Amino acid sequence: MPYIAATPKPPYYAVIFTSINAPADHAEHTALSARLVEHAKTFPGFLGIEGSRNGDGTGVTAVYWSDRESIHAWAKDPMHQAAKVKGRELWYSHWMIRICKVEREYGRTDQKT
């Protein structure tokens, strides 16, 4: 499966989620994250996700959406909201969300073209 998200010609949106895992058991976190991505894929504006975590528990995940409205719809989703509570209370010591408008992209993707 390609790693780099198959995003359309800009503009579209990116949510940069930076986080530091708390010293905790992350088995449920890992399992729920995978289920949450599958659920996000069912949302119309979802474009893709690129996740990454260092060995020390720090990490950056970029999630791409077609527009601001899709990000709002996802923010209101009950499964997502329940996961956010667990994230804040158990899984992450620190985290930051940045909502961005992608203006330009270029590169050499691993998507089949």
Nearest-approach distance from CB 37 to a copy of itself, in angstroms: 15
Nearest-approach distance from CB 79 to a copy of itself, in angstroms: 21
Residue number with CB closer to a copy of itself (41 or 94): 94
Residue number with CB closer to a copy of itself (81 or 93): 93
Residue number with CB closer to a copy of itself (42 or 108): 108
Interface ranges with a copy of itself (CB under 8 A): 3-5, 7, 10, 14, 16, 18, 20, 50-55, 58-62, 88, 92-110
Nearest-approach distance from CB 11 to a copy of itself, in angstroms: 9
Residue number with CB closer to a copy of itself (1 or 42): 1
Instruction: Quote the DSSP letter at residue 53.
Output: B
Amino acid, res. 45: G
Long-range contacts of 20-24 (CB under 8 A, 24+ apart): 20/57, 20/58, 20/59, 20/92, 20/93, 20/94, 20/95, 21/53, 21/57, 21/58, 21/59, 21/91, 21/92, 21/93, 22/90, 22/91, 22/92, 22/93, 23/93, 24/90, 24/91
